[in-house]
């Protein structure tokens, strides 16, 4: 079982988690793709390929070539930009024996649209942040609000609005914005893994106590019945396959969703360390195993505090010339000498 992780970039812990699973349970290698040969995950994986951006018309062909060349059994897309593209091509991967760890393209499209996400959840009885387009903000809306791009990631272009003057400014400043109620409460991410039929296998809530560039820097796992019930309600309202993370804050004792990302979260190392081994479950699913739900089976109140680490590379180490470490490829992903 060889695993392909796309857009690996800084996702070294995710690469290492899959390597550990393959080394101890199944055997196999972790291959990655990236557009930048200096990305750290390129030099941690068993092999790396440079492929076009997800917006390139030959992106899927490039991934298919890598899957064939490396005998891949499981494909793990990691960034929002590619989820819908990869999901639409799922049958092309399954035809060559590759399981794809991402949700349907309709789910990716819905979750990529923050306005549509919250309104879809509300329509299905799931607590979601009140969300408006610029022309929909009611006259009695509170002054304290939150604005961000309707389509975006990583906290880019997201700002707190404290008064009407700031609202007017940021409505012009942020491209294609949505405005949400500001929830003044602790923030949580719920990591969930669903099987190929959309049934939740793991649900692990995490409190995000320190956030940097939209990603958890410090936080802890929590056992909370309301957060688990919220995740189950979200899974009933939207079909997921593979990993998903649900972002929410509390309104009193009730968790309220403000965003969903149908992919691995930046805080997944904490979830894995707490005993919910998503990579192991995905590899087993790709091998055809049927998994029983393990909801609530994780270590609560486990804290994570992150720090930066570095790799030091010779000049030739970032030129993608060695097939043993980072293979230089044609635009369609074929390795060349």
328 pLDDT higher than 60:
no
Q: Considering only CA atoms, which of 223, 268, 279, 230 is closest in space to residue 250?
A: 230
Q: Which helix (H) or strand (E) holds 118?
A: helix 114-123
Mean pLDDT of the chain: 91
Q: Give residue 214's pLDDT.
A: 74
Give 154's pLDDT tier (boundaries 50, 70, 90): low
> Could you report the per-residue pLDDT of 266-306, keeping only the tens digit for each?
999 999 999 999 999 999 999 999 999 999 999 999 999 99
Question: What would the 3-class secondary structure string for 226-267 be?
Answer: HHHHHHHHHHHHCCCCEEEEEEEEEECCEEEEEEEECCCCCC
| Helix, strand, coil percentages, rounded to 5, for the chain | 30, 25, 40
CATH number of the domain located at residue range(s) 2-102+310-318 in this protein: 3.40.50.20
Q: How far is 327 from 280, CA to CA, in rounded Å?
A: 26
| 226 phi-psi bin (left φ>0, alpha ψ -120 to 50, beta other) | alpha
Q: Considering only CA atoms, which of 28, 30, 25, 26 is closest in space to residue 12?
A: 30
Q: Give residue 211's pLDDT.
A: 81
261 pLDDT higher than 50:
yes
> Could you report the per-residue pLDDT of 93-147, keeping only the tens digit for each?
999 999 999 999 999 999 999 999 999 999 999 999 999 999 999 999 999 999 9
337 pLDDT higher than 50:
no
Q: Considering only CA atoms, which of 9, 203, 198, 236 is closest in space to residue 102?
A: 198
335 pLDDT higher than 70:
no
Q: Give residue 332's pLDDT.
A: 44
Q: Give residue 258's pLDDT.
A: 96
Q: Give residue 317's pLDDT.
A: 64
The tokens for 141 are: 């809306």
Q: Express as a percent the part of the chain with pLDDT over 90.
A: 82
222 pLDDT higher than 80:
yes
Q: Give residue 257's pLDDT.
A: 98
CATH superfamily of 184-305: ATP-grasp fold, B domain (3.30.470.20)
210 pLDDT higher than 70:
yes
DSSP string, 268-320: HHHHHHTT--HHHHHHHHHTTPPPPP-TT-S-TT-EEE---------GGGGS-
Question: Measured over all CA atoms, what is the biggest interatomic distance in the chain, rounded to whole angstroms?
Answer: 65
Contact 221, 298 (CB under 8 A): yes
- Per-residue pLDDT, averaged over 9-31, amounts to 95
């Amino acid at each position: 079982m060889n695993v392909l992780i796309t857009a690996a970039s800084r996702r070294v812990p995710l690469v290492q988690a899959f390597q550990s699973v393959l080394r101890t349970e199944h055997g196999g290698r972790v291959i990655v793709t990236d557009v930048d040969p200096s990305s750290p995950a390129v030099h941690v994986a068993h092999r790396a390929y440079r492929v076009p951006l997800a917006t390139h018309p030959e992106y899927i062909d490039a991934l298919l070539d890598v899957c064939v060349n490396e005998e891949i059994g499981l494909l793990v897309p990691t960034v929002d930009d590619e989820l819908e593209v990869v999901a639409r091509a799922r049958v092309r991967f399954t035809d060559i024996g590759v399981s794809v760890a991402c949700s349907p393209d309709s789910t990716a499209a819905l979750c990529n649209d923050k306005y549509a996400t919250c309104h879809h959840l509300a329509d299905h009885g799931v607590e979601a942040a009140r969300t408006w387009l610029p022309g929909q903000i009611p006259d009695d809306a509170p002054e304290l609000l939150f604005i961000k791009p309707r389509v975006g990631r990583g906290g880019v272009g997201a700002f707190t609005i404290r008064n009407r003057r700031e609202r007017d400014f940021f409505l012009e400043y942020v491209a294609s914005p949505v405005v949400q109620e500001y929830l003044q409460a602790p923030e949580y991410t719920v990591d969930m893994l669903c099987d190929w039929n959309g049934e939740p296998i793991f649900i692990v809530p995490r409190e995000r106590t320190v956030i940097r560039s939209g990603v958890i820097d410090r936080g802890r796992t929590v056992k909370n019945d309301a957060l688990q019930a919220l995740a189950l309600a979200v899974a009933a309202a939207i079909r997921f396959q593979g990993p998903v993370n649900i972002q929410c804050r509390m309104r009193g004792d009730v968790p309220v969703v403000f965003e969903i990302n149908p992919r691995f979260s930046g805080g997944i190392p904490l979830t894995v360390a707490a005993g919910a081994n998503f990579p192991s479950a995905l590899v087993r699913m790709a091998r055809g195993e049927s998994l029983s739900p393990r909801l609530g089976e994780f270590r609560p109140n486990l804290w994570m505090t992150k720090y930066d680490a570095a790799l030091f590379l010779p000049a030739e180490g970032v030129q993608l010339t060695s097939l043993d470490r980072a293979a230089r490829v044609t635009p369609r992903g074929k390795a060349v000498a």
